[in-house]
Amino acid sequence: MQADNTKAVIHIYKPKKVNKTSTIYEIEQTHENRISHPEDYFTELVKIEQYQGFSKAYNVSHYFRIRNTSNWSKCETPTGLFKTLRANVYIGDLKTTKGKTLVLFYFDENNHLHIYRYKCGYYPSRKIIKSIIEKI
């Protein structure tokens, strides 16, 4: 029996502080569709920042930061948010010991952030990613 990699752990964050170029989110709830992986390091607070052009990143619209130190500017940035064809849905890729891992970001009508983290090392073809996005 083959595992269903398209099931995700869904983290829902509510906006805590909205700034001109960033928003800080606080965890509201987590829906566990599978057992958490040890590399699941999403923190209680996360930050989404607009891309300001200070790096050589290509096609990035925002950055995702986790709160792992007391200063946001020194916090880890595990992935950028890349635009998709669907409004308010972005794709990211976490670097893990098993390779890239698919992460989807969805901003709902209440500005809540839904983060869909897939099985560690799961990063399918563009066609499969497109079908996953259509189901969000």
pLDDT tens for 95-109 read 878 789 999 999 999
- Distance between CA 79 and CA 105 in Å, rounded? 11
Question: Chain-centre distance of CA 103, in angstroms?
Answer: 5
pTM: 0.87
The answer as to whether 1 is a domain residue is: no
Range(s) of the domain holding residue 81: 9-134
The answer as to whether 4 is a domain residue is: no
In the chain, the number of structural domains is 1
The answer as to whether 2 is a domain residue is: no
The answer as to whether 20 is a domain residue is: yes
pLDDT digits (tens, 9 = 90+) for 44-83: 999 999 987 766 667 788 999 999 999 999 999 899 999 9
